[in-house]
Chains A and B, each alone.
Chain A
C-alpha cells in the first residue's frame, strides 16, 4: 500500500496549541475516542474541517451550564499526516475488510468469554482491535457530532455531519508541518 498524505485540522485551547507545536500531539485514550485510541483531526469530507475544528474547540471550552469557559482563546491547527495503511470507511472495500475482522473477533469472543456490553456495544474496543491486527496507521470515518445549535436543542441523529481522522501513532504526524490556521476568542 502506498504512503498517502492527509491534512488534518485540530481545534483546541490556545495554551494547548502552543504545547502541541513544540512537543507534537498526544494520543487520546479517553471517552471522546470515537474510533479508539489515537490523535483526532477533522478532514475534508462532509463539511468544512476548519469550521468543525473551531466548533469542537468551542465545545471543549464549555464548562457544563456554568460560566466562565474553561479557556478564553482557541486555535485551529493543521498538520500533515503520512500513513501507508489507511482504512477509509467511505470506501465499501474498506468497510468490508473491517467487518471481516470485527466478525471474527466477535465469533471468537462469543466462543470463549461471557457476553459484555464493552465488546458488543462499544465500537471503540473493536476499532482498537482492528487497528492493531490490521496494522492501521489511520482511520477515516464519518460521524455525527453536535454543533452548538444541536447541543442546545439536544438533537440526536445517526446521519453523519463531519469526517474525522484518527491517527494511531503520533509518529505518523509530521511535527514540522503543524501550522496555526485560525484563532479567536471563545464565544459560548
Chain B
C-alpha cells in the first residue's frame, strides 16, 4: 500500500468515527489535551406571570429562567422566584 492509499484510508476512518470516538482519540494522542465541545447556541427563556397586587389584597407571581445549550438539553435549567402571597 502506498502513502496516498494510507492517507485515503486514514481520512475514511476519521469520517466514519463518531464524535465520542474522535474525542477519545484526541485525549489518547493529546499530551493532556481534553477537547471541549462547542455550545453553538444558548437560549434563555424567561416567563413571568403576575396578577393582582394591592395593599391588603392578593398577589400571585411566578417567574422562571430556563437556560438551554444546543445539543445538550440538560446542560442546566434554573427556575426560581415562585411566589404566592395571600393577604
Contacts and interface: CB of A to CB of B under 8 A. Distances in A.
A101 B5 CA distance: 11
Contacts of B41: none
Interface residues of A, number: 37
B83 to A, nearest CB: 39
Q: How large, as a class, is the contact surface on chain B?
A: 20 to 34
B30 A118 contact: yes
A105 B17 CA distance: 12
Contacts, number: 93
Interface string B11-23: 1011100010011
B13 A133 contact: yes
A135 interface: yes
Nearest to A86: B3
Contacts of B11: 100-101, 104, 133
B48 interface: no
- Counting from the closest, the 10 A-B pairs by CB-CB distance are A128-B29, A133-B10, A97-B7, A118-B33, A113-B35, A134-B6, A97-B3, A114-B36, A134-B10, A101-B10
